Amino acid sequence: MRAKALITGFALLWWATAAFAQWPGSPFAWQNGYGTAQYESGGYAVRLQGGYLMVGTHGIPNSTRSALYVVRLNDIGDTLWTRNIMPQRLQWFEPQGIIQDGAGNLVVSGSCRGWGATMGDAFVLKMNTQADTAWVRTFQTTGTDSFLGPTLSTDGNYFVYGWINFQNRVLKVSPTGAVLWNVASNHSSAFLGNNTALLAVGGGGCWVFSNGPDAQQQRLETRVHALTGAAGTETAQWLLPRFQYPVTHVATLNNEIVVSGSQEMAKLTPQGDTVWTRRFARSRPGWAWVARAVQPDALGDYAVLAEAGGGSPYSYQFQLLRIDSQRGQVRNDTLLLRPTGNTYPKSLLLAPNGDYFISGYTPVGPSGGPDLIAAQFRRFKPLPTRAAQRLAEVLQVYPNPAGGAAVQVRLPDGLGRGANLVIIDARGQTARRQAVPAGQQLLVLPVAALSAGLYVVRLQAADGRVWGGRLVRE
């Protein structure tokens, strides 16, 4: 095991070769592998009360079949229970994602194979948090069919999308398993392209991100398709500027849309206007990364879990980055290199204390074969200018977006000697500064003088504690 080494702001970490053990000064609170002497792959996770739940593929002994593998963990990575799900008339499962709906149930989608001559089918499965299956829907054609991960719609249904019967298709499925949409959504009228990401938007609609050739077939481009209404009609389509490679992850974070791909990210307004687009330089020669998951951190920046590829011999590894949400600059960059084999990242979640839960799988796991893996990565070291500050907490500002003359700010308890509140505009300049008396719980903040746009609201107590929030002025 090697200790953490800093290379011009780029951190390189060596994982334990087998037991994922800890060592003094380790950046991990814990690390574990989950599997058997057979094989496990996947490692998509959701946060549940008191821990996490992961799904993957589990090879059934003495069989060509593979089940949906479910692992329930507590907050420190201990296995509480495991289950294998194998519905009748199916031969194997390969999940591509998992979500939890508003009722607490879990939805998984991906690829499967039924008994018959098909090359592969797409599936959607709903279960409770004990892995009891409510229903499973399969979509079977004579070709190879597959879904990517599910997305929860704003009207309580589920979006799934993928390749069905030689077409890019988007489906909306109800909580009872009824198909509400099943529409084709190709890159353009001339090229099918590939749909690579989906974002749920207001009114039960979605934005589908596709990648394909431009009209002159000179380069690849990314397009956004807005689907709305009871039938999933495409009502708008536009080009995502300066974003060439496929979008691999998209999410709404702090009322901003964050689009990520291969060494590039973009931030959009809720209306789809581009705030910034960044193409990042390689942080280490011979290595490149593709974003797999993004979460906001407590300072308001973006934590990115990426799949890094490079080295000699070539391998795939976990990489964690922290991106300044205002300017799109890399603050921290950590490669989690495991020399004994590849590791494939799938999920990034926030632990209760603000650390990062990361999960995926490795072909060379602690059980002797492919295993699911998970770890709790301690928070990135703060920037030198923030070294004396505690990790920022979220500041509640409402109404947000704000169209009136004032907003209210819910102040944290225990401000003691008071605090200072600052509003910072998109250029990084102070738009307003206001002192906050000690003991006050609710602050009315005038915003009539602020022009429309995105602002950072920052509260700093006299003892150095920091809270941060976002304000959208309409």
pLDDT in tens, 249-268: 999 998 899 999 999 999 99
Backbone angles phi, psi at 240, to 5 degrees: -85, 110
Please enumerate in sequence order all residues whose Cβ is within 8 A of that of 427, keeping only pairs 6 or more positions apart, or say none.
none
Average the pLDDT over 224-238 and give the result.
94
Whether residue 411 contacts residue 430, with contact meaning beta carbons closer than 8 Å, is answered with: no
Whether residue 322 contacts residue 386, with contact meaning beta carbons closer than 8 Å, is answered with: no
pLDDT for residue 164 is more than 80: yes
Dihedral sign, CA of 211, 215, 220, 221? negative
Please enumerate in sequence order all residues whose Cβ is within 8 A of that of 134, keeping only pairs 6 or more positions apart, or say none.
105, 126, 127, 128, 177
- Give the pLDDT score at 385: 35
Cis peptide before 412 (omega within 30 of 0): no
- Give the pLDDT score at 103: 94
**Which fold, 393-473?**
Immunoglobulin-like (2.60.40)
What letter would DSSP give residue 246? Answer: P
Mean pLDDT of the chain: 85
Residue in 341, 369, 340, 342 with CA at minimum distance from that of residue 37: 369
Over residues 438-449, the pLDDT tens digits come to 777 788 889 999
Q: Regarding predicted confidence, which is higher, 2 or 419? A: 419
Q: Centre a 10 Å sphere on the Cβ of residue 165 and count the other Cβ atoms it contains.
A: 13
Domain boundary assignment for the chain: 28-377, 393-473
What letter would DSSP give residue 204? Answer: G
The structural architecture, per CATH, of the domain 28-377 is 7 Propeller (2.130)
Determine the Cα–Cα distance for residues 271 and 290; give it in Å rounded to an integer: 26
| Adjacent-strand bridge partners of 347 | 359
Dihedral sign, CA of 287, 291, 293, 295? positive
Residue in 328, 375, 383 with CA at minimum distance from that of residue 43: 375
- Give the pLDDT score at 463: 66
- The amino acid occupying position 55 is V
